[in-house]
Amino acid sequence: MSKSRLPTAIDVGYEFDHLAHAPIVEAVIEWRAEPTVVIAPDAMRAVLAQSFPSCSIQPLKHLHATIAGDETGVQVSEQTEQTGFRIVSEDARVVSQIRSNCVAVSRLEPYEGWNTFLPTARPFLQVFLAQFRPTHYSRLGVRFISRIAVEAAENAADVAEGLARPWKGFGLESASFFQQDTLRWPGTAYAVRLVRALDERNEPGDKGILFLDIDISLEEAVPLDEADQRLEEMRFLKNRVFFATIKNACTRFK
């Protein structure tokens, strides 16, 4: 009997099992869009300080280095350019980066669920839209990184599906690995990147750590009023990939 295939239809109304102790250590939403106005850094900082008075606001800077050589020797010149701001909540659990063409919001553990995370992220998006006034989005992305304990009596294949085992033919087991798969979700323009990495156990009897990184992206023009629907579809794909990859997730994270 052939193995059943993973359903590929997108159904945002589908109810996935709730995990009381989800292993997510970081969740990220990114909206990318080209600005139609230019704002001076000092003016933008004032807006952020007024909008997020309890947050720490730090400049994001990019260093350009140029190396040139001639008969007199080698000369190195550096130039620093401010590219945006990093806004950190008082408890350091919510971190946003706002640039002229992008806003990204991260939620660090404990992750409380999408219905809490999205409203937390939305005020940063609203400031971005009000100040830079884009006409559409050029990229949307959601990314979820999970940290999963692999018990001493387990191996990674007991926890996750689809792991390549290149040393199995030699009678050996991989102590650590990094595997990445990238694909287009059938019938859509969504790109799915799945990374699975296992940290090596230091001593016999130690737990291993399996990192699962699910990154869903859409790189095409999206009208501003369609982004919420697209994000719901991307969230569905994230859940579909997670529950198809992790074995017995409901029991493991009850």
State mean pLDDT over 196-225: 88
Mean pLDDT of 63-90: 72
pLDDT computed for residue 83 by the predictor: 82
Query: What gap in Å lies between CA 252 and CA 30, rounded to an integer?
Result: 29
Structure tokens at 74: 């080698």
Q: Look over the chain and give the mean of its residue pLDDT values, rounded to a whole number.
A: 89
Average pLDDT over residues 209-215: 96
All structural domains of the chain, each given as residue ranges with its CATH number in brackets, are: 24-65+84-252 (3.30.310)
Amino acid at 105: V
Q: Which residue has the higher pLDDT, 165 or 178?
A: 178
Is the distance from CB of 246 to CB of 163 less than 8 angstroms?
no
Burial 184-203 (b: 16+ CB within 10 A, else e): ebeeeebbbebebebbeeee
Give the bridge partners for 57, in sequence order.
Answer: 87
Nearest in space to 145 (alpha carbons), one of 207, 213, 194 = 213
End-to-end CA distance of the chain: 32
Of residues 66, 201, 44, 53, the one with CA closest to residue 132: 44
Strand ranges, E, within 89-135:
94-99, 102-108
pLDDT of res. 56: 97
Q: Report pLDDT digits (tens) over 110-150.
A: 999 999 999 999 999 999 999 999 999 999 999 999 999 99
Lookup: tokens for 68: 């040139």
* pLDDT at residue 87, as a whole number: 98
Structure confidence at residue 1 (pLDDT): 41
CA angle, residues 237, 239, 242, in degrees to nearest 5: 110
Other residues' Cβ atoms within 10 Å of the Cβ of residue 10: 17
